[in-house]
Amino acid sequence: MHTRSRTAFLVLAVVPLWTLWSTPTSGQSQGPTDRTRLLVQRIDEYYRLFQHGDYDRAYELLGHEWARGGSDRKDWNRTTRKMGKGIKTLGWEIKQIWVSGDRAKVRMILRARVKESASEWKETSEVHDDFWVFENDGWYFIPIHPGDWDESKAVEVPVPAARESLKINIKEKE
């Protein structure tokens, strides 16, 4: 093949193929960094909605398989409202994220005020693991431990740098 022919082949065949592989289409998922940022944003959105009592919108952030297979919207709202009367989330800090395929496990510290009695509340912090699934170009909360989560296949990914030291604090309405 002549040099000019090889150059034409590279330009006409290889470059368009490279462009197809390297340019995401609307149906393709984003790279890990973008996905991690989206996950962190979704976690913040979920906990803010939950804390402010917007359980109906929080229901929309449940993974479809788990939300639709578990409780319906009415049951979800009733259960979460009841829980919300005894637990007030004060803030959260994302410590670690592991990803395996389209699933993520997020370890965080949750700070909450827990109702001890009719008039007594106790402030507490605990390490908490949440699970999320990437579907329909977004992250959705899995309210139960997914039976198919395999720790050995999970890879720890960095928490986005702008967020590493950020602690979300929600000021409770008085």
Answer whether residue 3 is part of any domain: no
Answer whether residue 44 is part of any domain: yes
Answer whether residue 9 is part of any domain: no
- Collect contacts of 54-60 with beta carbons under 8 A, ≥24 apart: 55/80, 55/81, 55/84
Answer whether residue 129 is part of any domain: yes
% residues pLDDT > 90 (the chain): 34
In this structure, which amino acid lies at residue 68?
A: R
Look up the CATH number of the domain holding residue 129: 3.10.450.50
Answer whether residue 15 is part of any domain: no
Q: For all residues of the chain together, what is the average pLDDT?
A: 76
How much is the average pLDDT of 6-27? Answer: 34
For residue 85, the model assigns a pLDDT of 86
pLDDT of residue 16 exceeding 50: no
User: Over the stretch 36-89, which tens digit does the pLDDT of each residue have?
Assistant: 999 999 999 999 998 888 888 988 898 877 665 566 788 878 888 888 888 888
Which residues form the domain of 126? 29-167
Is the pTM higher than 0.85? The answer reads no
Give the chain's domain count.
1
For residue 1, the model assigns a pLDDT of 55
Token duo for residue 163: 């967020």
pLDDT of residue 134 exceeding 60: yes
Calpha distance 7→22 (Å, rounded)? 21
Higher pLDDT, 162 or 49: 49
Answer whether residue 102 is part of any domain: yes
For residue 148, the model assigns a pLDDT of 80
pLDDT of residue 165 exceeding 80: no
Answer whether residue 150 is part of any domain: yes
